[in-house]
Structure 1
Amino acid sequence: MRVLVPLAQGFEELEAVTVIDLLRRAEIKVLVAGLMEGPVKSSHGVAILPDTTLDAVKDQDFAMVVLPGGLPGAQHLENDPRVREILRRHAERGAYTAAICAAPKVLASAGLLDGRQATCYPGCVRPEDFPRLRLIDQPVVVDGQVVTGRGPGAAMDFALTLIESLAGRERREAVESALLRTR
């Protein structure tokens, strides 16, 4: 099983790295794809070298596509026609789509949140722009094959929910236990 994490300039590093790290700890293959070649700089100046480019993998199938938030990263993802096409194609075939923080707006703009419940960073998705979306004030919301997260503070719960969605509760608990999380 493979997961695609597209990275755009200005992504939120806490959300991206937490998802990539925890999914890899769960032995899920994660492919990080930059919108362009070379390092991608986060909204706070951290540079990450993606595994590949989006062009190199845009026609491949994945079990899940995960969009990290951050600004202007989420706006770059939303404005990229390749990202919208990948999301639509994966949703049509029943694969998971996931987004956190400002990135649920990318899912909404692609029409993937119509008639669904989701969460996002406050103010990133305006209800009047997406009247068929029901925004929920929760750290993580799962609605069918769509998983959304509220913001950087929810990144670990978001990533653990992605593990559970893909690999089951037992795998999630194994990864979570090794993290020595306190509640």
Structure 2
Amino acid sequence: MLKKAIVFLADGLEEVEAITPIDYLRRAGVEVTTVSIGSGEQVMGSHKIPIAADTTLEKLHVQGKDAAADWDAVVLPGGGVGSENLAASPGVGGFLKEMAGAGKLVCAICAAPAVVLAPLGLLQGRRFTCYPGMEDRVRGAQWSGDRVVIDGLFITSRGAGTAGEFARGIIGKLVGQAEADKLAESVLL
């Protein structure tokens, strides 16, 4: 059965943390839809690299494809400004709560675990990791210095340098460890 993942993109995102999971998930056969939370499809990364999203959150809503039942996983790239922009979006917050409530995979890297997931209460009682120093913003969860932390259906990671491992963890949960290992070998991860 084809697995489907949604990746939210916001201005100020860390480009590597967005593109690496998108690329690796697609290589592993996951149907990935990139969604700009802004008014247009183009998103500007923190290093001034423009990224073209497949659609916008508004268009996804109009099409009726913004329900947890439509997806198997959600991925949140980090970047300080990008994470703040994701956190400021009521549509993203509601979607994340719905995904968690439906038992779907929720994945966040860099600042996103602390800035986006924690304020929504989604890390409560869980193990997590994030960009070094951001863990002080999180209450009621257990921080780990591991590069990637998988706690049930939540996957968190530390930053741009761990993006490949983060994607591998997502693939392992979505399509199986054999596919994750195969991908890792093919890209020399």
TM norm. shorter chain > 0.5: yes
Q: Which amino acid aligns with 2:11?
A: Q
Contact 2:35–2:41 at 8 Å: present in 1 too? Answer: no
Deviation at 1:174, TM superposition (A): 1.4
User: How far apart, in 2, do the equivalents of 1:57 and 1:19 lie?
Assistant: 21
- Matched positions, count: 179
Deviation at 1:73, TM superposition (A): 0.3
User: How far apart, in 2, do the equivalents of 1:57 and 1:123 lie?
Assistant: 34
Q: Paired residue for 1:18, among 17, 20, 26?
A: 20
Q: Any unmatched runs of 5+ in structure 2?
A: none
User: How far apart, in 1, do the equivalents of 2:52 and 2:76 lie?
Assistant: 16
Q: Paired residue for 1:143, among 136, 146, 151?
A: 151
Greater share of helix residues, 1 or 2?
A: 2
Alignment correspondent of 2:36 = 34
Indicate the percent of aligned positions where both proteins have the same amino acid.
41
SS at 1:115's partner residue?
A: coil
User: How far apart, in 2, do the equivalents of 1:57 and 1:177 lie?
Assistant: 35
Contact 2:148–2:157 at 8 Å: present in 1 too? Answer: yes
SS at 1:125's partner residue?
A: helix
Alignment correspondent of 2:59 = 56
Runs of 4+, deviation exceeding 3 Å:
none
Q: Any unmatched runs of 5+ in structure 1?
A: none
User: How far apart, in 1, do the equivalents of 2:169 and 2:71 lie?
Assistant: 17
User: How far apart, in 2, do the equivalents of 1:153 and 1:79 lie?
Assistant: 26
Deviation at 1:124, TM superposition (A): 1.9
Alignment correspondent of 2:107 = 98
User: How far apart, in 1, do the equivalents of 2:118 and 2:157 lie?
Assistant: 14
Alignment correspondent of 2:119 = 109
Q: Paired residue for 1:125, among 135, 138, 149?
A: 135
Deviation digits for residues 34-85 of structure 1 (CA, Å, limit 9, x no counterpart): 0121310000000011000012225233101100001200000011111110
Deviation at 1:169, TM superposition (A): 0.8
Q: Which amino acid aligns with 1:43?
A: S
User: How far apart, in 2, do the equivalents of 1:69 and 1:40 lie?
Assistant: 14
CA-atom RMSD in angstroms: 1.1
